[in-house]
Amino acid sequence: MAAAFFLAGAIWLPARMAAQTPPLRVAVPKAAKAPARPKLIVLLVVDQMRADYVDKFLGQWTGGLRRLVEDGAWFRDAAYPYAATETCVGHATISTGAFPATHGMVANAWWDRKEQKMVTCTSDPDPKVKNIGYAGATPQGADTAWRMAVPSFAEELKFQTSGATRVVTFSVKARVAITMAGHKADAATWFDGGSWVTSSVYGTQPFIEEQAKSHPAKADFGKTWALSLPEKAYWYDEKALGAVPPNGWELTFPHPLRGKSGAGEPDPDFYSQWASSPYADTALTELAMKAVDALNLGKAAGTDFLAIGYSPVDYVGHAFGPRSREIQDILVRLDKDLGNLFAHLDAKVGRGNYVVALSADHGVVPVPEDMQTTGADAGLLRLPELQEKIDKALAAFKYPKPAVARISGSDVYFAPGVYDKLQHDHAAMQAVLNAALEQPGVAAVYRAEELRDRPATQSPTVRAFAYSYFPGRSGDLFILPKPYWLLDSTPPGKPRSYGTGHGVPYNYDQHVPVLLMGFGIQPGQYFQPVTPVDIAPTFAALCGITLSSRDGHVLSEALEKSAARASGPPARAKFTPSSAQETKP
Ligand SMILES: [Zn+2]
């Protein structure tokens, strides 16, 4: 109606007046300014870092961990919502922004039903693929990301921005360096048998060769890991109850890096000690800083990607448990390494040009013997005994023995044909479930058909197992232990080779830090419940790319408001308790 009236008015306008009307000013469209992008994405994943380590030990940190909290966005209620809280699973989740039900990395290793053997998440049977060693090393095996069913964030970034992105990852563990990188990368490097190695699908880099030769792990032979703070600064007893230290180490500090025998040269035990020490964290940090220098990361046309998987905290946690001086001390030293890393990035890439995320792949349960001192119900869920009970129950129904092919973590795999038969044999299935529930420490048993296709459910544990369920790879039955009961696969009569572990849907395994800092990040403390699966979608939002199969969401509460974004790198806000309050909606 308004348009018709206006047109009619124009027609009736006297000709003279129309001639005097000044010409219309047509705005010439200016080229829209593209949103600014970070020059470098830095992903830091600390293996087995519980969220409460930040709360407990922050006051003792002065370096990079402290800076992440003070200058960054600290998500204090971050937790994995799925059951399979293991290393390969967590790193693939952070890397892809998807749950294991989507990315398919359901465990560090699983039972391959076709091959009838255990396979690791990165083992690649392709005869054309092989691992390659730096500095003359000749590693075994072939590891790639071929089993990861979706691309990583880094792969998507490189693909969607015309290949200008360089992707570089480092870790002690293959399953970490590989899942963080994706199917291809400019460098994905891990540690095996005393050397840095990679796979033929990634290829080698001259700067890593140079570092492997000039600063080999064996150069740390003979060093001693001693307490770095005054003794009264440590929370726990000098001897962690129930600890199982690496070969050649005592239960108490100091821990000498001299192998098992204390002999004159590096042996396999020395390399285990090294990987369980702060020296390995420092070596990873140095490699990352070399990568920044050699490849000019953050200085080229695209957004580059650098990821470090800090593995030693995991080895230390498995050996000494979360209530140990070893955990407290290795974090003090990691804080220093990260301080050095950020100082290097400030100098080379520029403060405000890079964005960092730090998280963990899972937490850890206290050592059962330690937990028992509180009077709590805690113990060892002995999986070999459970397997025997199930086999025995099925023998009564004339099933072939052994009916169970493998129990791996929570997953029970039956021999070929057995589970298909059980699904139509209610009496035998009930006998199996009853037998499993008789094993001390078992809280519940779930069947695969309860978890398929992400069922709508009110049960947080069914939902957790469903988020981890990937058809063909996951087990037939799933064992939920009681809280504080450790899944233990130690053969009967053998001593346990570790103090404690992780891998179940309880908060001690699921609750991990999520910290973001730098380009586009609004500092503060955030208590919204989030998960590490949200990191990749947040990176994707900052870089303006799309993830195909994400299960996470953008951590929008910690992003600077868009007005600041379009006009270049953001001003850095200083952390204060009051500014933290203001960031909450
Ligand atoms: Zn791990």
DSSP for 428-441, please give it: HHHHHHHHHHHSTT
Strand ranges inside 113-202, DSSP E: 117-120, 131-133, 167-171, 187-192, 195-199
CA of 362 to the centre of ligand 1 (A): 6
CA of 107 to the centre of ligand 1 (A): 10
pLDDT in the model for residue 18: 42
Give Cβ neighbours of residue 193 (< 8 Å, ≥ 6 apart).
Answer: 137, 139, 140, 268, 271
- Position of tokens 């593995």? 311
CA of 577 to the centre of ligand 1 (A): 32
CA of 48 to the centre of ligand 1 (A): 5
Q: How far apart are the first and last CA of the chain?
A: 42
pLDDT in the model for residue 23: 52
Q: Quick one: which H or E segment has residue 481?
A: strand 477-481
pLDDT in the model for residue 203: 87
CA of 564 to the centre of ligand 1 (A): 37
Q: How far apart are CA 450 and CA 380, in angstroms?
A: 26
- The residues that bridge with 406 in the sheet, in sequence order, are 413
Alpha-helical runs (H) found in 240-295? 268-275, 278-295
Q: Quick one: which H or E segment has residue 486?
A: strand 485-488
Cβ(512)–Cβ(359) below 8 Å: yes
How does DSSP classify residue 559? B
Cis peptide before 81 (omega within 30 of 0): no
CA of 95 to the centre of ligand 1 (A): 14
CA of 513 to the centre of ligand 1 (A): 14
pLDDT in the model for residue 264: 86
Structure tokens at 494: 């053998």
Cβ(537)–Cβ(547) below 8 Å: yes
CA of 360 to the centre of ligand 1 (A): 8
How would you class 580 by CB atoms within 10 Å of its CB: exposed for 0-12, middle for 13-18, buried for 19 or more? middle
Sign of CA dihedral 520, 522, 528, 530: positive
Q: Give how far Cα 435 sits from Cα of 368, 376, 450, Å.
A: 23, 25, 19
pLDDT in the model for residue 567: 42
How does DSSP classify residue 529? -
pLDDT in the model for residue 426: 97
CA of 54 to the centre of ligand 1 (A): 17
CA of 106 to the centre of ligand 1 (A): 13
CA of 432 to the centre of ligand 1 (A): 31
- The residues that bridge with 380 in the sheet, in sequence order, are 486
CA of 170 to the centre of ligand 1 (A): 15
Q: What is the residue-level pLDDT of the chain in tens, covering all 585 positions?
A: 334 333 333 333 344 444 445 555 555 556 666 679 999 999 999 999 999 999 999 999 999 999 999 999 999 999 999 999 999 999 999 999 999 999 999 999 999 999 999 999 999 999 999 999 999 999 999 999 999 999 999 999 999 998 899 999 999 999 999 999 999 999 999 999 999 999 999 989 999 999 999 999 999 999 999 999 999 999 999 999 999 999 999 999 999 999 986 668 999 999 999 999 999 999 999 999 999 999 999 999 999 999 999 999 999 999 999 999 999 999 999 999 999 999 999 999 999 999 999 999 999 999 999 999 999 999 999 999 999 999 999 999 999 999 999 999 999 999 999 999 999 999 999 999 999 999 999 999 999 999 998 899 999 999 999 999 999 999 999 999 999 999 999 999 999 999 999 999 999 999 999 999 999 999 999 999 999 999 999 999 999 999 998 899 999 999 998 634 444 444 444 433 333 333 333
CA of 87 to the centre of ligand 1 (A): 3
CA of 329 to the centre of ligand 1 (A): 19
CA of 312 to the centre of ligand 1 (A): 10
Q: How far apart are CA 414 and CA 406, in angstroms?
A: 7
Q: How far apart are CA 550 and CA 336, in angstroms?
A: 34
CA of 229 to the centre of ligand 1 (A): 26
pLDDT in the model for residue 573: 41
Query: CB 216: neighbour CB atoms within 10 A?
Result: 18
pLDDT in the model for residue 30: 64
CA of 318 to the centre of ligand 1 (A): 10
Query: CB 263: neighbour CB atoms within 10 A?
Result: 11
Q: Give how far Cα 267 sits from Cα of 139, 196, 386, Å.
A: 16, 16, 37
Q: How far apart are CA 298 and CA 168, in angstroms?
A: 12
Q: How far apart are CA 413 and CA 415, in angstroms?
A: 7
CA of 14 to the centre of ligand 1 (A): 82
pLDDT in the model for residue 577: 37
CA of 12 to the centre of ligand 1 (A): 79
Q: How far apart are CA 79 and CA 527, in angstroms?
A: 12
